[in-house]
Amino acid sequence: EIVLTQSPGTLSLSPGERATLSCRASQSVSSSYLAWYQQKPGQAPRLLIYGASSRATGIPDRFSGSGSGTDFTLTISRLEPEDFAVYYCQQYGSSPFGFGGGTKVEIK
């Protein structure tokens, strides 16, 4: 079973700053089958990135994903007020398709 570890647990930043979130896998994620989701309080998660680097429909280009193998990164180039939320990575290359523990991006 692949275990995903996200860091940091919490990121305190100001609007306009750049956010860099990390997701590390215990084994290589096949074919870069790695996704990123955003979840706001009281809402269902929303898909941001799939295939490690492809933006989902309607996702602004300030969100970008990169990485391969065991190390993946979600970057938000300039934080907008609506971007403060919790972010999860998920691998879907090998069942069970588990999630990381999440990174909370909060307003500094």
Beta strands in the chain (DSSP E): 4-7, 10-13, 19-25, 34-39, 46-50, 54-55, 63-68, 71-76, 86-91, 103-107
Which of 17, 59 has the CB closer to other proteins? 59
Q: What is the DSSP letter of 42?
A: T
Nearer to other proteins, 13 or 47 (CB): 47
Instruction: Report d(CA 71, CA 23) in Å as an integer.
Output: 6
Q: Contact residues for other proteins (CB under 8 A)?
A: 1, 33, 35, 37, 39, 44-47, 50-51, 56-57, 88, 90, 92, 95-102
**Which residue, 69 or 102, is less far from other proteins as judged by CB?**
102
Minimum distance, C-beta of residue 76 to other proteins, in the bound complex (Å): 18
Rounded least distance, CB 96 to other proteins, Å: 4
